[in-house]
Amino acid sequence: CFTPESTALLESGVRKPLGELSIGDRVLSMTANGQAVYSEVILFMHRNLEQMQNFVQLHTDGGAVLTVTPAHLVSVWQPESQKLTFVFADRIEEKNQVLVRDVETGELRPQRVVKVGSVRSKGVVAPLTREGTIVVNSVAASCYAV
């Protein structure tokens, strides 16, 4: 799950807080091979704007910050094998690379995680897209968690 104030990029170019997303919204997502694509929100697996929750915060060297529950899957780029894997957020370490939307090209590019922290915040939202992925606060993540 993500925080309700985290944002997704709509196909229209508008950034929308996840707490305000609706079924049918087309949000930036990622294909299996790491390409940026817009995908329809088809349901919410979890949506509780009052629940207090512990989150992991991942900060990248490009300034992106993803706030996500510890057991949520985040895409991690493996430079040695040139492959993308999904890792639980609480297992991501500094120096790992996550895919972040490049503002100029719109493509998803690896950025190094420079800080991993934790925060307690109110509200959880878990939108599911047809693609099964979503780009939140410019960072690519799975829609799934344990």
Predicted pLDDT at 23: 97
CA dist 78 and 85 (Å) reads 7
CB 23 within 8 A of CB 42: yes
CB 145 within 8 A of CB 69: yes
> Phi/psi of residue 120, each to 5°?
-110, 130
| 133-136 and 139-145 strand pairing | antiparallel
What mean pLDDT is predicted for residues 126-145?
A: 97
State both tokens at 77. Answer: 């780029």
Residue 146 has pLDDT above 80, yes or no: no
pTM for this prediction: 0.95
CB 73 within 8 A of CB 40: no
Confidence of residue 123 (pLDDT cuts 50, 70, 90): very high
Predicted pLDDT at 33: 87
CB 47 within 8 A of CB 64: no
CA dist 44 and 126 (Å) reads 6
* Per-residue pLDDT reduced to its tens digit, 82-111: 899 999 999 999 999 999 999 999 999 999
Q: Which residue has the tokens 């979890």?
A: 46
* Per-residue pLDDT reduced to its tens digit, 31-88: 988 999 999 999 999 999 999 999 999 999 999 999 999 999 999 999 999 899 999 9
Q: Which residue has the tokens 């088809």?
A: 42
What mean pLDDT is predicted for residues 23-29?
A: 98
